[in-house]
């Protein structure tokens, strides 16, 4: 089973693009998540996780969440492999999100980005409500 649930803050506004031909919306963003332990010097380490969401969830992300917003994302881990123009083989790990949920009320995040937009506890999924696994 490949399932991941993450809670973190957006490091930038979602970038919305459309797949040529099909017109399917795709949003990409990165979330920052502090690890749950402290280093010897008392500091915490932050992981920056790239997320990609498709369909109506992508449009929701682009319209209702922004830099600094606390979100929950459910999806799966994807490892994309590619080759550079120099012939080097590389891989890139990201979360292919299925669900995204805004975890803050309007105005809770004013210090980070001048205010957030959207509805309270808004959530959107590309899956119909009857298909939700939880």
Whose tokens are 């830099």? That residue is 67
Residues 33 and 49: beta-carbon distance below 8 Å: yes
pTM across the whole model: 0.74
Instruction: Please state, in angstroms and rounded to a whole number, the distance separating the CA atoms of residues 113 and 65.
Output: 11
In terms of phi and psi (left: phi > 0; alpha: psi -120 to 50; beta: otherwise), the region of 32 is beta
Token readout for 38 is 């402290």
For 5-31, the pLDDT digits (tens) are 999 999 999 999 999 999 999 999 999
Which domains are assigned to the chain? 4-36+44-127 (2.40.50.140)
Instruction: Please state, in angstroms and rounded to a whole number, the distance separating the CA atoms of residues 110 and 89.
Output: 43
For 83-107, the pLDDT digits (tens) are 999 999 999 999 999 999 999 876 6
């Amino acid at each position: 089973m490949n399932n991941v649930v993450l809670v973190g803050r957006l490091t930038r506004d979602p970038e919305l693009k459309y797949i040529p031909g099909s017109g399917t919306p795709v949003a990409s963003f990165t979330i920052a998540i502090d690890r749950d332990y402290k280093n010897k010097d008392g500091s915490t380490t932050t992981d920056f996780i790239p997320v990609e969401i498709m369909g109506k969830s992508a449009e929701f992300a682009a319209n209702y969440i922004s830099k600094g917003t606390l979100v929950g994302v459910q999806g799966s881990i994807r490892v994309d492999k590619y080759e550079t123009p120099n012939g080097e083989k590389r891989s890139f790990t990201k979360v292919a999100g299925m669900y995204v949920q805004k975890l803050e009320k309007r105005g809770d995040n004013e210090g980070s980005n001048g205010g957030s937009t959207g509805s309270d506890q808004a959530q959107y999924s590309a899956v119909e409500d009857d298909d939700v696994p939880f």
